Chain A
Amino acid sequence: MTQLWNFGGGVHPPENKSQSNSRPIRPAGLPAKLILPLQQHIGEPGQKVLKGEVIAQVGNGMGVPVHAPTSGIVERISLEPVPHPSGMSDTCVVLIPDGEERWCELVPQPGYRKLERDQVLALIRQAGIVGLGGAGFPTNIKLRPSVDRKVDTLILNGAECEPYITADDMTMREKADQVMAGLRIMAWLLRPARVVIGIEENKPEAIAALRQAADGSKTEIAVIPTIYPSGGEKQLIQILTGQEVPSGGIPADIGVMCQNIGTAVAVADAILQGKPLISRVMTATGEALAEPGNFEVLVGTPTSHLLTCAGVDKQRMSRLVLGGPMMGYTLPNTDIPLIKTSNCVIAASASELPAPAPEQPCIRCGQCAEACPMELLPQQLFWHAKATEFEKAEHLNLFDCIECGACSYVCPSSIPLVQYYRFAKGEIRLQRAEQQKSDRARVRFEARQQRLDREQQEKDQRRKDRALAAAKAQEQKTADAQTRAQDGTVTDERAGKSALVEQALARKKAKTAAASAERTEPSTQLSEEAAPSETFAPENADKTPAAETAPSVEELEQQLTQAQAKLEKMQSMLEDARSGQAPNVDKLERAVDKNIERVRRAQRAIDDAQQQAVPANRNAEPALSRSND
């Protein structure tokens, strides 16, 4: 006898399994269309596909390919409602079966033991196998735990503790050999010390079938008490090993791995027959069905097809639950396709799953705490969730809640506790996401601020460096001048400096002398004050003597012509004004005089320009000679 442990809590809801486990597994057959939810796809509308052919490959490592469950034509690739509690839509391949059921080529690997383990894992991935227990985690990834997590105990979960569901029960009864074969492959991959199948005691036929199939092997068949949720991964591990999965960890952390019955069958089919995962056993039950039972259902089959197979009475059906009555979710309509993780459809009548009574105040009776398999304080979590005191709820380990529904099941006040926890978890996740977002923004801002500060510092540093370099250069220059002065007649530093100053002064004087010579020499009539005025003569004087050449004369002549023209215009205007007795006569007279003066000056400037040229440099010479004194 395998030693068993207890987990805290648990409830005994009515099992309701006999409705569906009294008939053998029936094929659900071909529906009119198959809707295959994808993440990535390669199929083209109109493309003909064979049964078992890959129609969707995955890009990243966290997915598995999708296969055509039957041969047919891809009608379209579109957004379709998929089974999800939120009722969301996702990209799906819609396949119209051609009824021929033509398989693609299959490559069985009965001698898988000769292959590398990685090759077998790749085959499992290629077969599109995910955990059929509910989460749908890719099996090949799960079967390859990291090096530091050696799996000592491999558990096959045949507990099936949810009421109504009998898919695993019937699979174990009818496919015990395949279950064992799949288990052997997984055990070969993991090489655990212990392999154990946990089955609730309410499945005597399955226990007998598996005992027979496992006869002679070291696999333990552990018959465990019937209590919900014994089939929860954490609870089953506790029952079979007495160990607890650390909070936030995975079973491999304590050297345990759980696999589902259906997954074992899928692995066996994939390796030993080369068949990809294109169908699974599903329970169709509930009072609205005339012939409830288990069916081999192609992945992508619309729910309505399965319900029809089980003889649905649509008038009686008030609630359609995908999954069990404890953790399943309601479907909005019967078009939703059934997928790899769908294990049960309950078409319930109104009396079977009646609407819950109105919520009453919590009386803290503690029934929920008694029932909680995770040993939480559900009523405290409820108070905190309701009061949106999420911090306190988290402190009481809200995130360890597995949402099994045991607390809501027993609550005498009919409080939808699980819904409160989902709400609180969602809010906390949202807050965390926002926190992360603002953290990132802060980091970004701080980085920018740092960069700006750094750039400013660098700029300052460069400026300082330049100033320093300039100072150094200045020093060098002074030193040079000193050396030069020392080489020359002046011996002391002061003399050197004064020599430099005198040199500079001499240069300046020479310049001024040249300029004044230019200005004074040609004409004494040209007043100094006239120089900055807009007349062309002083402009001329500003120019360096060397520039006083022929083009300048031409220029002057041109200006003269302009001035003469202006003068003529002014004179005619003056005459007009005089004849018309205009008030601006005086003003015009003054303007005419000014222009006459201007023309005269221009005339003179031209003459000067023609005479000049040679004496300019001669004037500069004495200044230069003086600087050498």
Chain B
Amino acid sequence: MALVQQSSPHAHRARPTSRVMLWVIIAAVPGLLAQTVFFGWGNLINVVWCIALALATEAAILKWRSKPVGFFLKDNTAAVTGLLLGLSLPQFAPWWVSAVAVFSAIVVAKQLYGGLGSNPFNPAMVGYALVLISFPLAMTTNWAAPVGLWQDAPGFGETLSAIASGQQTAVDGWTMATPLDEYKHKVGSHTAAEITIHPTFGNFVARGWEWVNAAFLAGGLVLLALRIISWHIPVGFLGGLVAMSLLFGTNADQYAPLSLHLLAGGTMLGAFFIATDPVSAATSHQGKLIYAVGIGALVYLIRSWGNYPDAVAFSVLLMNFAVPFIDYYTPPRTYGHHKARRGLPTRKQG
């Protein structure tokens, strides 16, 4: 028997990309469950639909690009993209909105840039931002009301048919403005007490949303514990958001309070599952911190002074733009060196 000839190291940790991505999917399950419990079947249906669509699209384009379809499909990255879109889109978003989002995420944002590892932008957020701008009505009016506030709550079948019908807007009684949206529209003209009297805020911070965010936080902590993500991006994201909130918006009558920023909208999903996409994030620890603080700050800026109630997608994409710039200035200091070598190699004279 001929002896294997191989360069070192000979030992390898058995945690391939597919397993990493699988862990991301598993860690998102609590959040998905919370969404389902508090907002009905919409997210679950969206997740299944988006994942199926993402895998199919990925397979088609891989085939078109003459790449090994099975090899790349098994890395689970397309499934994660589908999952993230399913978790982010409004519960009653019509099927074609999801389809456009998934298509632009997989085909445009990922494969046209060279596939896995080569995309400068977070694919799921490219898809999300595209449909948010293209279909504002479908993307703003289809947010499900928290379960307790539904009149004539829809079952699984009704939700599925609502999504599959392709109607721009779902039944009025099933949907409700999100807490961030509600606050944004009333702040300034109403006091905090007057705003939060709206049922969407519930008894605590934001009915349903607070639990969804808590569940995503829990899932994110699992990823941290497994060292699948490093602490830099979630901490930077939340830190940037908190810092901005403390700096500008301590007065709840004028700005949404910190608790709402942290526990409403896509904050935790963004901090632990979206901004942590390694491909489009900064490289070094320092770079990741800067990148994530930037996202957190932009989220606050857009939520407070922009046109959109939530802002994770835009913030992530904007900071994706900045990644090469951040990487340029934030290489770590290597052992045995006095300081880090920033920038690009300077050409030697002559």
Contact = CB atoms under 8 A, between A and B. Distances in A.
B298 to A, nearest CB: 21
Given A332-B5, A366-B278, A418-B7, A244 B335 contact: yes
B4 A363 contact: no
Nearest to A85: B7
Contacts of B7: 85, 329-330, 416, 418-419, 422
B118 A414 contact: no
Contacts of B9: 325-327, 405-406, 408-409, 418
A11 B344 contact: no
A19 B117 CA distance: 40
Interface string B5-39: 11111111101110110000000000000000000
B58 to A, nearest CB: 13
Interface residues of A, number: 77
Contacts of A418: 7-9
A138 interface: no
Nearest to A391: B345
B283 interface: yes
Contacts of B284: 369, 377
Contacts of B12: 356-357, 408-409, 411, 414
A85 B283 CA distance: 32
Contacts of A333: 3
Interface residues of B, number: 44
A234 interface: yes
Given A317-B3, A319-B3, A414-B16, A363 B279 contact: yes
A98 B77 CA distance: 65
Contacts of A360: 16-17, 71, 75, 116
A552 B15 CA distance: 119
Main secondary structure of the interface of B (DSSP, over half): loop
Interface string A290-333: 00000000000000000000000011011111010111111111
B341 A396 contact: yes
Contacts of B11: 13-14, 163, 325-326, 353, 409
Contact of B10 (A353, A374, A414): A353
Contacts of B249: none
* Best-surrounded residue of A238, A327, A413 (most CB of chain B within 10 A): A413
A234 B336 contact: yes
Contacts of A413: 16-17, 117
Interface string A209-245: 0000000000000000000000000100010000011
16 contacts: A247-B335, A318-B1, A319-B3, A325-B9, A327-B9, A330-B6, A330-B7, A348-B10, A357-B12, A366-B230, A369-B284, A377-B284, A391-B345, A403-B8, A408-B8, A412-B15
- Closest A-B pairs by Cβ, 6 of them: A405-B9, A361-B117, A395-B345, A247-B336, A325-B11, A319-B4
Interface of A: 7-8, 11, 13-14, 85, 163, 234, 238, 244-249, 314-315, 317-321, 323, 325-333, 346, 348, 353, 355-358, 360-367, 369-370, 373-377, 379-380, 391-392, 394-397, 400, 403, 405-406, 408-414, 416, 418-419, 422
